[in-house]
Amino acid sequence: MKNSQGLLIFILAVGVFGIINTEMGVIGILPDLAEYFDVSVSTAGLLVSLFALAIAIAGPTMPLVFSGMNRKHVMIMVLTIFIIGNIISVFTTNFTVAVISRVIPAFFHPVYVSMALSVAGASVSEKEAPKAISKVFIGVSAGMVLGVPIVSFIADAISVQAGMAFFAIVNIFTLIATIILVPSMPVTERLSYGSQLKILTKGITWLSILAVLLINAAIFGVYSYLAEYLGTVTNMSSNLISIMLLVYGLANILGNIIAGRLLSESPIRTVTIFPIALITLYLIFYPVAELTVPTAMMILVWGILGGIGANINQYWIMSAAPKAPDFANGLFLTAVNLGTTIGTAAAGMIISQIGTREILFVGVAALIAGFIFIVLRNTLYKTAA
């Protein structure tokens, strides 16, 4: 039984890696795609921004629509849609077709990811659920961090089409594994749409969403400009920046593992302390940002905290609505994507108006606000630590 649970979680993690990699992997080859489709780099950026916008729109709705269907059948359907979109992206030379072939699958992104997190959590006891979910989050981290250099390397070594084909190959592998190895997962207790939507009438849900939005704004608003930060403030070479980004990514994966244990043992305490820990890191980072070795140490710790933060975000919204897991995970995806958008926009304004070094204070401000919402939830809706 334990082996079958482990295999299921592994397939879910690889599936999430493929879905997230389809979203993030193009970041490393945007200049190549701009040249390939004969458009500007900013126009090529639509391949990323419109994908993220589709996720934010679909997050609360699409998981709700499919919440009553057999989960294996839904996963097969979503993976098939992604594979078709990936294959069209490989062979088309028309930019508009390429955008459409990415945006349509993006609407199904929250369906697969929210379902994967729900299935992982439901495959074990309630106490062990954070550990199981943290293993799926390794796929999220790998898709966000390792997928970019892998696709970039393939594109440089072979061709842009080969880089794009990598998305399809991972999704095809997951589809085959899902068909052969994942058992049928019919929904035994189908929740009505009304009963799931009812969680939006509860204060605990909105306090959780606001806290998660702000925490993700604090993490990704700053992380989005990490390469720029290391180049202009720390004066690192491009090769060293690449190494630092990889360090952050690997530390992120370690953070996922640590988070699974912390959230299993003392979830409320972990969530409450997290913003204080990250504020402390940013305030220490600011005065040493021009020094290479201390900056490298900060990035290592920051990467670990980033991985913990991703798990905290999912746990915080999920624990506010445990009876509607698919819908709650959809809300989580919308909250983190909106947080990333808002944080990145705020940090971009700080860079243009004040300077790159000061973006750390965007993170600090967002964390202070997020901490207030965490304390409010803890005070109004008391839960065991």
pLDDT of residue 215: 95
pTM of the model: 0.80
Tens digit of each residue's pLDDT (9 = 90 or more) over 253-303:
899 889 988 998 899 999 999 999 999 999 999 999 999 999 999 999 999
For residues 97 and 89, give the distance between their C-alpha atoms in angstroms, rounded to a whole number.
8
pLDDT at 376 over 90: yes
- The pLDDT value given to residue 377: 94
Q: What span, in angstroms and rounded, lies between the C-alpha atoms of 379 and 117?
A: 28
Is 87's pLDDT higher than 50?
A: yes
Higher confidence at residue 185 or residue 283? Answer: 283
Does pLDDT of 118 surpass 70? Answer: yes
Lowest-confidence pick of 3-12, 88-97, 211-220, 260-269: 3-12
- Using DSSP, state whether 185 is helix, strand or coil: coil
pLDDT tens-place string over residues 26-84: 876 777 888 889 888 778 878 877 887 888 888 888 888 888 888 899 999 999 999 99
Query: What integer pLDDT is reported at residue 384 of this predicted model?
Result: 46
Q: Could you tell me if 214 and 339 are in contact, meaning their C-beta atoms sit under 8 angstroms apart?
A: yes
Q: Helix, strand, coil: what percent of the chain each, to 5?
A: 85, 0, 15
| Mean pLDDT of the chain, nearest integer | 86
> Who contacts 168 (Cβ-Cβ below 8 Å, separation ≥6)?
83, 86, 87, 90
Range with the poorest average pLDDT among 100-104, 243-247, 272-276 = 243-247
